[in-house]
């Protein structure tokens, strides 16, 4: 497949920057929110519903798909796009964060990670080369270098270890990356230590990745810290490369990151909160399970054009939740994604120059 990748910044200013990411599976206008399709599916939602909500790119997880159904199954049917019937862009995470979250089940050394599967307890080994090969075979458009992530709080010694391993592993991923139909992104680590983030960014930028992710944040620190360190890290990255803040999906966290020059975000928040009855609106979060909505005939958001708000009342949604109907979570997830994509689109509009 020819190289159909590019990233262009169309406008930039105090409100952030707006661009277009071109991939072999379509264009992505940035800033962009990416719903999480961990197991090759965004929970409860069909591809058509994602499209209707405004989704142009999703995030799949290499670690989870490696465990089940297995890379050979996905590759055997032609790759992730065909497997999950998603014709648009896909980014795959390398599994570094998932390995991090399995701390009691894993052992890290310079070469890679030995861990026990959370599915069946099988002892497995993951190296930067294997993580790259897995993502190649899955067939995502954008793939991530294998990194070492820390929690918050963490010691400086542990943060230094994360930077050293992430840099060494990124170089190995770069060497192993051999697919012209994919682009590889590096991940900046450094926790809440600015000098370590400077070191990590400088080392990765020297390797000249297609783009760069801001990692090691949204792992337990306060939102103000996330915003500050995301902005600091973004300032260290090349202006002509895509910037991706990992694990951030609340509107109040996305807005300052966009102002700081970040282009892409991913998080389970809109669908997870939707499944539990929380709707995102311009006035804040609404808990649809609460009794004030028992007789409320209004839509979730009168200004919203999503399928849920066009068809259903708050009273009906509350009834579905209390009755244990899965449709409830599906309908609110549709609304939340529609709302969040619209929120990000409005941020983009503020950045783009007005047309005469």
Q: Which residue bears the tokens 């792992």?
A: 219
Which one of 93, 133, 253, 263 is the catalytic residue? 93
- The pair of structure tokens assigned to 202 is 């400088």
Burial label, 252 (beta-carbon count in 10 A; 0-12, 13-18, 19+): exposed
Helices (H), the chain: 47-53, 62-67, 71-76, 80-83, 96-101, 128-138, 156-176, 194-207, 223-234, 251-259, 269-275, 307-311, 314-323, 326-351
Is 93 labeled as catalytic in the residue annotation?
Answer: yes
Q: Which of 137, 253, 263, 266 is catalytic?
A: 266
Q: Which residue has the tokens 């992104």?
A: 185
The answer to whether 20 and 57 are in contact (CB under 8 A) is no
Please indicate whether residue 253 is annotated as part of the active site: no
The two tokens of residue 204 are 């990765």
d(CA 25, CA 84): 14
Catalytic residues: 93, 266
């Amino acid at each position: 497949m020819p190289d159909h990748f590019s990233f262009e910044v169309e406008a930039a200013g105090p409100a952030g920057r707006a661009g277009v990411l071109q991939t072999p599976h379509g264009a992505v206008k940035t800033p962009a929110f990416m719903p999480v399709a961990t197991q090759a599916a965004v929970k409860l939602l069909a591809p058509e519903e994602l499209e209707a909500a405004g989704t142009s790119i999703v995030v799949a997880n290499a670690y989870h798909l490696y465990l089940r159904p297995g890379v050979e199954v996905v590759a055997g049917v032609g790759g992730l796009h065909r497997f999950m019937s998603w014709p648009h862009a896909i980014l795959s995470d390398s599994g570094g964060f998932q390995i991090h979250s399995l701390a009691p089940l894993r052992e890290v050394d310079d070469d890679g990670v030995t861990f026990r599967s959370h599915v069946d307890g099988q002892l497995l080994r993951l190296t930067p080369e294997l993580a790259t090969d897995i993502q190649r075979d899955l067939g995502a458009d954008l793939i991530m270098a294998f990194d070492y992530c820390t929690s918050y709080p963490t010691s400086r010694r542990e943060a230094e270890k994360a930077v050293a391993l992430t840099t060494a592993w990124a170089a190995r991923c770069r060497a192993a990356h051999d697919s012209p139909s994919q682009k590889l992104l590096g991940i900046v680590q450094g926790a809440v230590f600015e000098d370590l983030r400077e070191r990590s960014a400088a080392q990765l930028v020297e390797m000249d990745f297609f783009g760069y992710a801001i990692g090691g944040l949204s792992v337990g620190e306060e939102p103000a810290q996330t915003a500050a360190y995301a902005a600091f890290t973004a300032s260290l990255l090349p202006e002509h490369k895509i910037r991706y803040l990992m694990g951030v999906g609340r509107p109040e966290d996305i807005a300052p990151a966009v102002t700081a020059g970040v282009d892409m975000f991913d998080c389970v928040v809109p669908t997870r909160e939707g499944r539990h009855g929380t709707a995102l609106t311009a006035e804040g979060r609404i808990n649809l399970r609460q009794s004030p909505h028992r007789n409320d005939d209004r839509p979730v958001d009168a200004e919203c054009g999503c399928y849920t708000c066009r068809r259903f009342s708050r009273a009906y949604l509350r009834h579905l939740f209390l009755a244990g109907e899965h449709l409830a979570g599906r309908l609110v997830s549709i609304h939340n994604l529609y709302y969040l994509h619209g929120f990000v689109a409005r941020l983009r509009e503020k950045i783009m120059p007005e047309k005469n």
